[in-house]
Copies of this chain bind each other. A is one copy, B any other.
Amino acid sequence: MKGNCIIAQSGGPTAVINSSIAGAIHECLKHKEIKGIYGAINGILGVLSENIVDLRKEKPAEIDKLRKTPSSALGSCRHKLKEEDLDKILSVFRKYNVRYFFCAGGNDSMDTANKVSKLAQKEGYELRVMGIPKTVDNDLPVTDHCPGYGSVARWLAISVRDAGLDTEAIYTSDTVKIIETMGRNAGWITASTALAKEREDDAPNLIYLPERPFDNEKFLQDVDRVYKKLGHVLITVCEGLKNKEGEYLTASRRSVDTDGFGHKQLGGVGDYLCDLIAANLKIKARFDKPGTIQRVSSVCASRTDLNEAYLVGKVAVRKAVSGMTDMMVTLVRAEGKEYRCFTGVTQLENIANKEKKVPDNFINADGNFVTEEFLNYVKPLIGSPLPEYARLRKYSVRL
Q: Which residues of A contact B (CB under 8 A)?
A: 9, 11-13, 18, 36, 38-39, 41-42, 45, 51-55, 57-59, 62-66, 68-79, 95-96, 158-159, 162-163, 165-170, 172-174, 177, 179, 253-257, 259-260, 265, 267-268, 271, 274-275, 278, 282-293, 295-300, 387-397, 399
Contact = CB atoms under 8 A, between A and B. Distances in A.
Contact of A165 (B70, B165, B255, B278): B70
A255 B277 CA distance: 11
A140 B300 CA distance: 31
A328 to B, nearest CB: 21
14 contacts: A13-B165, A53-B394, A57-B395, A63-B390, A65-B389, A66-B392, A76-B169, A96-B397, A158-B299, A256-B284, A257-B278, A268-B271, A271-B271, A287-B289
Contacts of A68: 387, 389
Contacts of A12: 166, 170
A392 B70 contact: no
A164 to B, nearest CB: 8
Q: How many copies does the complex hold?
A: 2
A177 B292 contact: yes
A79 to B, nearest CB: 7
B162 A298 contact: yes
B296 A162 contact: yes
Contacts of A389: 65, 68-70, 298
Given A53-B395, A75-B168, A259-B173, A65 B388 contact: yes
A9 to B, nearest CB: 8
A232 to B, nearest CB: 11
Among A257, A275, A293, A300, the most chain B Cβ lie within 10 Å of the Cβ of: A293
Nearest to A10: B170
A289 B289 contact: yes
A391 B58 CA distance: 10
B78 A172 contact: yes
Nearest to A68: B387
B299 A275 contact: no
Given A254-B275, A396-B54, A397-B53, A65 B390 contact: yes
A19 to B, nearest CB: 11
B71 A162 contact: yes
Given A159-B293, A299-B299, A393 B58 contact: yes
Among A55, A165, A169, the most chain B Cβ lie within 10 Å of the Cβ of: A169
Nearest to A162: B296
Contacts of A76: 169-170, 172
A136 to B, nearest CB: 11
A389 to B, nearest CB: 4
Among A162, A265, A297, the most chain B Cβ lie within 10 Å of the Cβ of: A162
Nearest to A265: B286
A173 B260 contact: yes
A115 B29 CA distance: 71
B58 A395 contact: yes
Given A53-B395, A394-B53, A396-B54, A165 B296 contact: yes
A379 to B, nearest CB: 18
A168 B75 CA distance: 7
Contacts of A166: 12-13, 70-71, 292, 295-296
A320 B172 CA distance: 29
